[in-house]
A and B are shown apart, each in its own frame.
Chain A
Amino acid sequence: MFTINNLLDIMVLVIFMNMQEKLTILADSAKYDASCSSSGSALKRHGDIGNTAYSGICHSFASDGRCISLLKILMTNCCIFDCKYCLNRKSNNIKRALFTPEEICEITINFYRRNYIEGLFLSSGIIKSPDYTMNLMIETISLLRHKYKFGGYIHAKAIPGASTYLLNKLGNLVDRLSANIELPTENGLKLLAPNKDTNKITKIMEYIKENKSQTFVPAGQSTQMIIGATKETDYEIMKRSSEMYHNYSLKRVFYSAYIPVNKDNLLPSLNLPPLKRENRLYQADWLMRFYHFKVNDLLNADNPNFNLLLDPKADWALRHLEEFPKEINTCSYNDLLKIPGIGVTSAKRIISSRKYFKISFNDLQKMGIVLKRAKYFIVCDGKYFVNNLCFNRSFIESNLVLEDNLLTSLKGEQLSLF
């Protein structure tokens, strides 16, 4: 067991470890956070170096296929809490490290100038107390903004339990500030993160929402849930998400497939992280945010989990075949969005083009609209693409599943939506 009880310990952490080793420890502990985006900030800061790109930029892709946009590190992996799922929990006997504010600034600036990153994502284990930790983070970021004149993107994790005064201070320095809800239900949190409580986390979200402005957290807030560490159904998870989007105007909810790093009899023993499930949740999240779907369209108490063989939209369409096939030349924008395989761009393209000419299947192809999935659900000028007799659930379902699995076996497991 490791705790920091005096200055000497801290000095040991700071001085007797080289940067390579520190960076390894503190990036390794930070990597489980799924958030990566660097977008949404239009604020022009008066820095000497750097700016933010509204649409976000990916600088590299890690071996797991996830985008690397920010220098994602912990300030320290020392922690007084003991969250069961976390590598840094105090009961783990692991190497601990701590970055000084200057060290973080130096790495950030050096990486940024060389165009390795869009900016910094700073999170931290809790050292001494939430306020103490937040103060150190503020010191670091304020140094980066004011002395190093850094105008690039910064995402900071708020420490639950820190005072609103500090929250306010930090929020004025960063582009994005966020707090992780960690688990979809309060019971789950109590079970696995006994030192945390949902209220403290939602209070942060509430505060950020109330105070968001051009200069306070201009890129908004996001949060993350761990999937598969507790027993919640997809229905519970999606209800929680939709509630949070609604109550706290979140920009994103990230879903992070649980990866066992600790042994604990409260934790499930999984061999592989539930990546397919995570993918379904992202797809459904997408449908809620951009396609006007409600949680209850997709799931309900009798049918509380996503079909792992079919994406949520296709699954929904097959359960509502009476609404199909839809006529591409006349159906509304919202109806176009309901067609499996038709995305926002395609729907817009169809709407604007059909004013000028009647769209045939051929035209759809020329317009760059992928018909692989859509063809079962549409008619163009009264014509059905596949044989009319084939318009039934079992035929379409088996074809979609077949294509899907062919596709995934060709393209690898994970369909990334980051």
Chain B
Amino acid sequence: MNEKYIYIYNNSFLSLLNLIQTLFKNKIVPQNIKPQDYSPSLFDKIVNLDIKEDEQVIEDIINYLSSNILNTLYYVYLSSNEHKELIIYYFWGHSLKYKNKIFYMRNLKSVNAALKISKYVSRENHRLKGFLRFKELSNRILYAEIAPENNIIFLLSKHFRKRLNNEYWMIKDVKRNIYCLYDKKDCFFVDGQNFEIGPKQWSMDENNIQSLWKTFYKTIGISQRKNKRCQMNFMPKKYWKYIIEMSEDDEESYN
């Protein structure tokens, strides 16, 4: 069995950029790149280059790459795709040659993959701008839980910063245990904590408003046009758990 050399980075986007930059410099073509907390298989040989966080290097990278390309790399990084690091490596590599023309080179496998994935991430972000549901807590703070496939809480928080800029709110990514806290000025990201928020902490009005919304939701559908498939296509079941009008829905009423 062949051994596989796996280059690792410390989970952050910048450290991934730093690592790949170093690989390019040393003309190393990696067999794989993984975050340091991945679970290695038997034949993986882990290589940790222990690259120093060098602000200058990062700045150079950011200045060198066009914002389109950097954005694409970032979106792919946020995805849950298991080959994302290699895709980033190759996409970046091609971009050195093609510059901004890279976006038209969809006949190259890694380019096509990167563009597809980044589109997928941005689509999920857009979807959650709509599907996210806040609940009001007794101290008027708005609280929402999400469980997205991709790690989009950073992107999503930008939207709500503008939209609810005069409210205190908190979003929790339940899958990754990341919280975004907004204090009417800035967003803070916290991870690793875990506290449960349930109906006990809801404000007096919360139940009432939720049930008004469910009433509206039920009423607005036209029974003569019923189309469950269409509904599911646009609002996939994986999101239902956190969409209040869908969550406790007894399956039957939708069949």
Contact = CB atoms under 8 A, between A and B. Distances in A.
B234 A23 contact: no
A416 B116 CA distance: 23
B229 A412 contact: yes
Contact of A414 (B112, B162, B227): B227
A63 B107 contact: no
Contacts of B116: 368
Given A63-B254, A114-B136, A49 B112 contact: no
B133 interface: yes
Contacts of B228: 63, 65, 412
A48 B205 CA distance: 21
Given A31-B222, A68-B217, A356 B129 contact: no
Interface hub of B105, B213, B220, B229 (most chain A Cβ within 10 A): B220
B149 interface: no
A63 B224 CA distance: 10
B105 A356 contact: yes
Contacts of B107: 353, 357, 363, 366-367
Interface residues of A, number: 57
B215 interface: yes
A349 B106 contact: yes
Contact of B225 (A28, A55, A67, A273): A273
A352 B245 CA distance: 43
Contact of A65 (B159, B215, B234): B234
Interface in B203-255: 205, 209, 211-213, 215-231, 233-235, 243, 245-246, 254
B220 A115 contact: no
A64 B222 contact: yes
B144 interface: yes
B144 A115 contact: yes
A366 B105 CA distance: 10
Interface hub of B218, B228, B231 (most chain A Cβ within 10 A): B231
A320 interface: no
Interface stretch (A105-113, A159-167, A239-247, A324-332): A105-113
Nearest to A62: B221
Given A31-B219, A368-B116, A113 B164 contact: yes
Contacts of A58: 130, 234
Contacts of B230: 61, 64-65, 411-412, 414, 416
A407 B99 CA distance: 40
A115 B143 CA distance: 11
State the majority secondary structure of interface residues on A: loop
Interface in A2-51: 19-20, 23-24, 27-28, 30-32, 48-51
Size band of the interface chain B makes with A: 35 or more
A418 B22 CA distance: 48
Nearest to A48: B166
Interface string B162-174: 1110110000000
Given A59-B131, A412-B230, A413-B227, A116 B213 contact: yes
A356 B104 contact: yes
B19 interface: no
Given A115-B144, A412-B229, A60 B224 contact: no
A191 B233 CA distance: 39
B34 interface: no
A259 interface: yes
Contact of A60 (B101, B103, B129, B131): B131
Contacts of A48: 166
- Shortest 4 CB-CB distances between A and B: which pairs? A65-B230, A412-B229, A63-B221, A62-B221
Interface of B: 101, 103-107, 109, 112, 116, 126, 129-136, 142, 144, 159-160, 162-164, 166-167, 205, 209, 211-213, 215-231, 233-235, 243, 245-246, 254
Given A50-B164, A115-B160, A416-B234, 19 more contacts: A19-B212, A20-B215, A24-B219, A49-B167, A63-B226, A64-B225, A64-B226, A65-B233, A65-B234, A66-B222, A107-B212, A110-B212, A115-B133, A353-B107, A355-B104, A356-B101, A356-B104, A366-B112, A411-B230
